[in-house]
A and B are shown apart, each in its own frame.
Chain A
Amino acid sequence: MSRAPRSHRKERIDRGIKVRSDDIFAIGSARDLAYVVAPRALAILALLCFPLLQGLVSRYWQTVMLNTLVIALLALSWDLLASVGLISLGQSLFFGLGAYAAGWLDAHLGVSPLLSIPLGTAAGALIATAVLFPLLRLRGHYFGLITFALPLLFMRIVETTGILGGTEGLSSLKPLPGRTTELYLATGAVLATLWAYRRMSATDYGLVFQAIRDNERSVMAAGFDIQWRKAQAVFLAALPAAFAGAFVTHRYQFVGMPAFALEYSVLPLTAAVVGGAGSFLGPVVGSFILVPLSEAMREFGSLRVVVYSLMLLLFTVGLPEGIFRFAARKYGQFERLAPIEEAPDGK
């Protein structure tokens, strides 16, 4: 089997604007600037315009968009926890607590959504932090295990004791004013969280989180109280997730045991793994791939769950950096064919 000797090879080169690190660019012209800014500006613009297209997009796809944004919030929250080294297998814990907090405020105190969403968010996040506080010393699988078990435990407690409406849940809560408000609220929350998290991870405060993930002992040796820091991280991570819960409660005017459903844990986790953990953008990209995909496969029943667990598997094993990092790396490089200088002499 002889092959024609190749005279060219593929060469990958980082673009000139990209200096060694990921987030520092050398910009020399408007074109360079556009090259760096355009992707994110376009994405943000598209997100902000979407609610204005209600005439063109069916109600159903608006619903899908809302579900996507909700999962994106949960995935962002997951990523922040992961950046402290806490791997959560139970994002529905935060979601469910936020959802029930808002539902309770509405059903028992008659608070309007204007108040019950922010209060529910804060209360849900606080309760979640308080519940997890004694468990923060756990690492590795143990933390994963506990977060896996907690939402199921809460679900059972609601079922068994009949508090908060028991198996029937709380219904006929107050609705949000309209579709446009709903879309802007969710979009705004995702963008705000994204911006805040990315900003935070660049500050000294955020760096401590990553240091805890990398080496707890050296952070302790540097004089930080890591329990306290982890608790802060949990609270900050719980905020968007609890908000998502409170938001969905009012959107459907209903909250019940399914607020702790496994789907709210598995989808964000999968979104984060598929999109790529660690950058905050990855999980959002992952949600925008997974949720519409899951909807497109609705007619195949639970085959969709098979597909996304296989995706989870493939990405964990095959592309651990995730789609976002992979794409970003490709975007920052260009490929060309370079001549092979000394052609092999026949052999």
Chain B
Amino acid sequence: MDLLASTLVYGLVNSAVLLLTALGFSLTFGLSGVANFAHGGLYLLSGFLAWMLVHYLGLPFLVAAAVTVVVVGAAGAGIYRAVVMPVRGIVLSEVISTFAAGVAIVEFFRWRGFTTYDFSLPALVEGGVEIAGVSVDYQRLLIVAIGLGLTLILWVLTHHTKMGLALRGMSQDEYTALSVGVESDWAAMLSLALGSALAAVAGLVLLPLGIISINTGYDVLLIALAVTVLGGLESTAGLIAGSLILGFAMVITGNYLGPRWSEVVYLGAIVVVLAVRPSGLLGKSKELEDRV
């Protein structure tokens, strides 16, 4: 096992982690143009909710996970109804109100004392294998598989089904979509519910890697932002490219420059990309509108 092989394997794993983290945020944005800043809060919510279902109600983890995904998806729809809908169209109010909702979720858990080291979710599969001399556990391989699988499913869903096309039409031109019979609020609510459910899926497969810590709620939002901004805000290919670039960049800097640099990478990426090419590497639309 050498450093290069490890860089390749863990670069890929890390990319998949980033991809999963950002998937829900990116999907919601791509479908309805709502930047859901409560993403991190929902991610954290899913972890604690599943933990409570397992520990207080004694549900098997898989059942708890399924319930969590549904509940968090519904919470996303609720956030749309209560928080986004009244300010729909005023972009900054959307950002502020979803951000506030996310902070409220995160700090609620801190207030209730979810800061101890007791919160940990079980891995779906135990054990591991060696790839090119690098040991990887099955959970991380599962993350890669789920990340790629979900992205593929979502791409088919949004590009080749009637519902997906209707939703994307909404984000591209609301009036035209309305005139061909797409109901705006319904579409946007669905997109938020889907995005939130994806945040829950991400939480459920990523959190077993360690223990659940409160501040993850903020970190996840930043990572989601970095990946989507880098790749382009509504492009599937861009999302994958963004996660690969950031994922490998973080592992490479970690391995060859020192781990302390890897956290600078994604914040730096947001700033540089926005300064140079705000629509992202592969994003096409909105370039004219958001830049003068």
Contact = CB atoms under 8 A, between A and B. Distances in A.
A305 B92 CA distance: 20
A266 B222 contact: no
Interface string A203-218: 0000000000000110
Decide if the interface of chain B is mainly helix, strand, loop or mixed: helix
A146 interface: yes
Contact of B100 (A135, A262, A310): A310
Contacts of A301: 110-111
A145 interface: yes
Contacts of A140: 91-92, 290
Given A138-B274, A138-B290, A149 B267 contact: yes
A309 B267 CA distance: 24
How many B residues are at the interface, by size bracket?
A: 35 or more
Contacts of A144: 92, 95
B270 A145 contact: yes
Interface in B31-65: 35
A317 B86 contact: yes
Given A149-B222, A309-B103, A87 B92 contact: yes
Nearest to B263: A156
Contact of A138 (B93, B104, B108, B291): B291
Given A309-B103, A309-B107, A160 B92 contact: no
Interface of B: 35, 82-83, 86-87, 91-93, 95-97, 99-101, 103-104, 107-108, 110-111, 218, 222, 225-226, 229, 260-261, 263-264, 267-268, 270-271, 274-275, 278, 290-292
**Top 9 closest A-B pairs, CB basis?**
A305-B107, A153-B267, A312-B100, A309-B103, A309-B100, A309-B104, A313-B100, A302-B110, A149-B270
Interface of A: 87, 89, 134-135, 137-142, 144-146, 148-150, 152-153, 156-157, 159-160, 216-217, 220, 226, 262, 266, 269, 273, 300-303, 305-306, 309-310, 312-313, 316-318, 320
Given A87-B92, A141-B91, A145-B225, 16 more contacts: A89-B95, A135-B271, A135-B275, A138-B278, A138-B290, A140-B91, A148-B225, A160-B260, A216-B292, A217-B292, A266-B103, A300-B111, A302-B110, A313-B97, A316-B93, A316-B96
